[in-house]
Amino acid sequence: MQHRIVVLGAGYTGAIAAGRLAKRLRREDVAITLVNAEPDFVERVRMHQLAVGQELRPRSLGEMFADTGVEVRLGRVTGVDVDRRTVAVTDPDHPGEDRELEYDTLVYALGSAWNHQGVPGTVEHAHEIAGRPGALRLRERLAGLDAGQSVVVVGGGLTGLEAATEIAEARPDLDVSLAARGGLGDWLSPKGRRHLRKVFGTLGITAYENAAVTEVAADHVATADGATIPAAVTLWTAGFAVHPIARATTLNVTDTGQIVVDGTMRSVSHPDVYAIGDAAMAAGPGDKPLRMSCASGTPTAWQAADSIAARLTGGKLPNAPLRYFNQCISLGRREGLIQYVTADDRAVRAALTGRFAAVYKELVCKAAAWGVANPTLGVPARRRAVTGAEARPAAV
């Protein structure tokens, strides 16, 4: 009987985990199923590019996992029963019907979506680029704007900075502004902040600092200090929220709905469940929670896949450090900012800027996509037999 591994979500983390497991374990010993709502792998770090009209290369999951031993199942996850070890997935051929998948080991990688934070009017009037559908809706709306109309990006984090500069560069005829709760790039080094302000000035982007948005209307946003900022289009980038399914289970989750895991990405409450990427509450250096990002997600996928393989084959558990090296920010197609950071993600003095930083960021994006199709980073891997004590969990 094969050990059934079900991976939920084929973003960066889920796809890497599924592919890496297939490289580590013998095909005759495991059945690996990768569940995803869309047939293509989506480069989430490029959604701001898609939103301004750039075309992205399609990456079929079927082609990506052909001849790997991973079965790709299309469908949206509607429920997880961690006590019965089953997953409910919609059947694309029979709308309204769900299929039930049984698992011995579950890898939960459903990721996150935009977080409207309950701000009035956000759901009704704001756009988001946390996924392909939202980016395409924004793309259509931006294409319909006339010269001189205003676009407000809410959120001064990495996504907000990349979106504001991408829009301003692609549409110099628009009035682009960014509303940040704190200071513009206030977490960056002095060099990083100076370069960011320089690029904003060159692109004509207005920065509203210390401006917490309290309401979104059809034609403006309102801030906590009583100001009104005109907005023909509002793009909301103020954080991410995890998929709500985990919260509805008996898994140990945080107040935000993230699954609490140990250093091997294993659920602290259900040993047959692993959580990776944005879905996991994982600790980095100094027990500081990892932030939601591709930079966090990829190493958690490696850690989970290698831990599962080790436990199933009786091998040694991995002990790779989960740490940061830099923050890579695209500021349009011609400018960039690479902020070097400490292991726990605090900015240091060193930073790369300008055209070289833009090329660096582009290489990082390409490397991230390459890493999904090459989950062991091109290093040959030996497939091992499933022999460990956890290979056949007892039925419940």
What are the C-alpha distances in Å from 246 to residues 32, 88, 184, 252, 275? 21, 13, 34, 9, 10
Mean pLDDT score, 119-143: 97
Cβ–Cβ < 8 Å for 298, 304: no
Regarding beta strands 326-330 and 336-341, do their DSSP bridges make them parallel or antiparallel, or are they unpaired? Answer: antiparallel
Please state the φ and ψ torsions of residue 238, each to the nearest 5 degrees: -85, 65
Please state the φ and ψ torsions of residue 207, each to the nearest 5 degrees: -105, 120
**Residue labelled with tokens 């110099």:** 172
- Give the number of other Cβ atoms within 10 Å of residue 363's Cβ: 12
* Reported pTM: 0.94
Mean pLDDT score, 59-76: 95
Res 395: pLDDT: 41
pLDDT > 70 fraction of the chain, expressed in percent and rounded: 98
Whether residue 115 is predicted with pLDDT greater than 80 in this model: the reply is yes
User: For residues 59-91, b (16+ Cβ closer than 10 Å) or e, as one string?
Assistant: bebeebbeebbbebbbbebeebebeebbbbbbe
Helices (H), the chain: 12-24, 47-51, 61-64, 122-125, 132-143, 158-170, 190-203, 294-313, 354-373
Mean pLDDT score, 87-111: 92
Q: Indicate the DSSP class of residue 388.
A: S
Going by pLDDT thresholds of 50, 70 and 90, the confidence category of residue 92 is confident
Res 396: pLDDT: 36
